[in-house]
Amino acid sequence: MNRTDIKRIAPYAFAGAAVLSAVTWLWQKTRVGLPEGAVPVTNFKIQRYIGNWYEIARFDYRFEKGLENVTAYYSQNEDGSVKVLNRGKDIATEEWKESTGKAKFLGTEDIARLKVSFFGPFYAAYNIIALDENYKYAMVAGNDLDYLWILSRNPEIPENIKTEYLKKASAIGYNVSRLIWTRQDTAQAKIAPVA
């Protein structure tokens, strides 16, 4: 291969390497594992879980950076999958942002391990690792110790539940000092059911 041939194919090789690198990064960030020591909720009933949830706390990551009044609305699709509608208010712009995704069970529907996608074929883990018997408070783990959410049916959570969930997360290995406590201060945060 001469120098002219190399110059001709170099841009394509660079573009191919960039695409491969991006796909590899996405695959690594969208695996559907379970952190060691975390146990998903059993005897789970998706019909009781669907509806509106307020985000109480989260580990910050790029898709939620700078958002407050964050909520998630879950509804069941005809095919058994779960429609996910996340909504939050951008602190800097005061604009509401929404994203819609789809979640599917990784195994049987009585075990609270799902995978959720907001970007085509790429899925992330959605493991419900704590849930009270009345389905009012939940703690959700991602694939590893970089993703954690605490949710409530109301904009606040009782101190005893908060303490219990923080203790459980710490025992698994989460650095709970990294949690961002989501500001919930507007009635507009609640998501109305979507048709």
- Whether residues 86 and 177 fall in one domain: yes
The verdict on 11 and 55 lying in the same domain is no
Q: Which residues span the domain enclosing 88?
A: 46-189
The answer on 50 and 26 residing in a single domain is no
Residue 123 domain-assigned?
yes
Q: What is the pLDDT of residue 62?
A: 73
Q: Give pTM, 2 decimals.
A: 0.80
What are the tens digits of pLDDT across the range 118-162?
877 788 999 999 999 999 999 999 999 999 999 999 999 999 999
Q: Is residue 148 a part of any domain in this protein?
A: yes
Structural domain includes residue 15: yes
CATH number at residue 76: 2.40.128.20
Is the model's pLDDT at 195 over the cut of 70? no
Q: Are residues 151 and 61 in the same domain?
A: yes
146 and 66 within one domain: yes
pLDDT at 175 over 60: yes
What is the full DSSP assignment across the chain?
--HHHHHHHHHHHHHHHHHHHHHHHHHHHT-----TT----BS--HHHH-EEEEEEEEE--TTTTTEEEEEEEEEE-TTS-EEEEEEEEETTT--EEEEEEEEEESS-TTB-EEEEEEETTEEEEEEEEEE-TTS-EEEEE-SSTT-EEEEESSSS--HHHHHHHHHHHHHHT--GGGEEE-----GGGSPPPP-
Q: What is the pLDDT of residue 131?
A: 98
**Average pLDDT score over the chain:** 84
Are residues 84 and 144 located together in one domain of the fold? yes
Domain contains 77: yes
pLDDT tens readout for residues 72-98: 999 999 998 999 999 999 999 999 999
